[in-house]
Amino acid sequence: MTDTAAEAEDAPEGRAAATGAAPGNPAPVTATGAPVIRTRGLTKRYRGGQLAVDGLDLTVPAGSVFGFLGPNGSGKTTTIRMLMGLIDPTSGTAEVLGRPMPEAARTVLPEVGALIEGPALYGFLNGRDNLLRYDRADPTADPRTRRARVDEALTRVGLAAASGKKAKAYSLGMKQRLGLAAALLRPRRLLVLDEPTNGLDPQGMREIRLLVRELAAEGTTVFLSSHLLDEIEQVCTHAAVMARGRLIVQGPVADLAASARGRLAVTTPDPGAAARILKEHGLTGLSTDGDRLTADAPPAAVDLADLNAALVGGGVRVRFFGVERGSLEDAFVALTGEGFDVAG
């Protein structure tokens, strides 16, 4: 994300925070239940030859909070740019709200709020005046209710108290919130947020997550990219995992996490004996940390009751015994064979 937008004194830089402002007020463009985003074989090769996105088949269900997950450089921003009609794909198709992009950008984008690569702000204007400008640029926005709309958006993102401050004095997190407020000036069927919690402190992150949940509860589909697995697990109903431009997996977050095998965990004052017995029973991936022992979860054919009885029969005093649920991170490691090793 760039941090240059608010430095501009006379013209906004960065991408539009709210990609609305197309003339007219088109009717909703998808049937209920149809995917809000669907791509088929979507591919982008940059001029330098870099294959940034490779044959992407993505389906984002209506009403979902969809996490688009992947390490830096895996192709997330390139995909989002194609979805928003900012760049053309090399091949393949993308549909947003049931319409082809970039061809239908003028009818689709007014219904989409987007926050990509930092909001476009006028640094010399305060937060409220920035939003008033955005609202004025939307020909469908009623001038009589402008102030109320702007105040509501400011309150929603927690910027009411700082609304009189010039945007160039805002922290990165405050700029991010102001961009979100701009995207929320009118009702949106879809919100596309590229790394929305980037630059926010933990409290700010929690607030944005809360806001995302609220918006989803009101019926807005939220598509957000992140390299933070935790964030995706906390806020998203669905997720897609990207690695090196390719889609590794997509689906409900609960299913993705469940696909990870999980770990058998045993707590005992006799970890040496426990490790020996588990090994004799064919368990792999053993690791001991003090009185806690973990191993790859045994295959379904192994009865956990028998395993526990074997431990106790072998003189192991068991304090805890059970299989711990896999996390999205476990699933990612299992799928890609590599850690999710990116800057936090």
With contacts defined by CB under 6 A, name the span among 35-43, 73-81, 178-186, 214-222 that binds ligand ATP: 73-81
83 or 182: CB nearest ligand ATP: 83
Enter the tokens of residue 274.
Answer: 């426990």
Binding residue for ligand ATP, selected from 2, 50, 140, 287, defined by CB under 6 A: 50
117 or 330: CB nearest ligand ATP: 117
183 or 243: CB nearest ligand ATP: 243
Length of the chain: 344
With contacts defined by CB under 6 A, name the span among 65-73, 159-167, 199-207, 291-299 that binds ligand ATP: 65-73
Shortest gap between Cβ of 200 and ligand ATP (angstroms)?
16
Binding residue for ligand ATP, selected from 11, 32, 33, 72, defined by CB under 6 A: 72
Site map (CB under 6 A) of ligand ATP, residues 138-167, x = contact: ------------------------------
Binding residue for ligand ATP, selected from 74, 163, 220, 250, defined by CB under 6 A: 74
Kindly tell me the burial class for residue 32, based on how many C-beta atoms sit within 10 Å of its own C-beta (0-12, 13-18, 19 or more).
Answer: exposed
> Cα–Cα distance between 344 and 329 in angstroms, integer?
14
SS3 of residue 146 by DSSP: helix
86 or 167: CB nearest ligand ATP: 86
Shortest gap between Cβ of 20 and ligand ATP (angstroms)?
24
With contacts defined by CB under 6 A, name the span among 16-24, 75-83, 101-109, 274-282 that binds ligand ATP: 75-83
Give me the sign of the Cα torsion angle 21, 25, 29, 31. Answer: positive
With contacts defined by CB under 6 A, name the span among 70-78, 88-96, 169-177, 328-336 that binds ligand ATP: 70-78
User: Does residue 61 touch ligand ATP according to CB under 6 A?
Assistant: no
> Cα–Cα distance between 198 and 6 in angstroms, integer?
16
User: Does residue 199 touch ligand ATP according to CB under 6 A?
Assistant: no
35 or 71: CB nearest ligand ATP: 71
Binding residue for ligand ATP, selected from 78, 221, 250, 268, defined by CB under 6 A: 78
Binding residue for ligand ATP, selected from 14, 19, 20, 76, defined by CB under 6 A: 76
Binding residue for ligand ATP, selected from 77, 197, 220, 294, defined by CB under 6 A: 77
In 3-state terms, the chain is what percent helix, strand and coil (to 5)? Answer: 35, 25, 45
Binding residue for ligand ATP, selected from 12, 35, 75, 118, defined by CB under 6 A: 75
Neighbour count for residue 338 (Cβ, 10 Å): 10
Q: What are the backbone dihedrals phi and psi of residue 169, each rounded to the nearest 5 degrees, phi first? A: -90, 0
Q: Which of residues 200-259 bind ligand ATP (CB under 6 A)?
A: 227
Angle at the Cα of 92 from the Cα atoms of 100 and 195, rounded to 5 degrees: 75
**What strand order describes the sheet that includes 221-226?**
112-115, 190-194, 221-226, 65-69, 238-243, 246-252
Report DSSP letters for 77-139, one per residue.
HHHHHHHTTSS--SEEEEEETTEEETTTHHHHGGGEEEE-SSB---TTSBHHHHHHHHHHT-T
> Cα–Cα distance between 195 and 55 in angstroms, integer?
23
Binding residue for ligand ATP, selected from 7, 25, 46, 324, defined by CB under 6 A: 46
CB 131 within 8 A of CB 178: yes
> Cα–Cα distance between 288 and 292 in angstroms, integer?
6
Give the residues lining the site for ligand ATP (CB under 6 A). Answer: 46, 48, 50, 52, 70, 72-78, 227
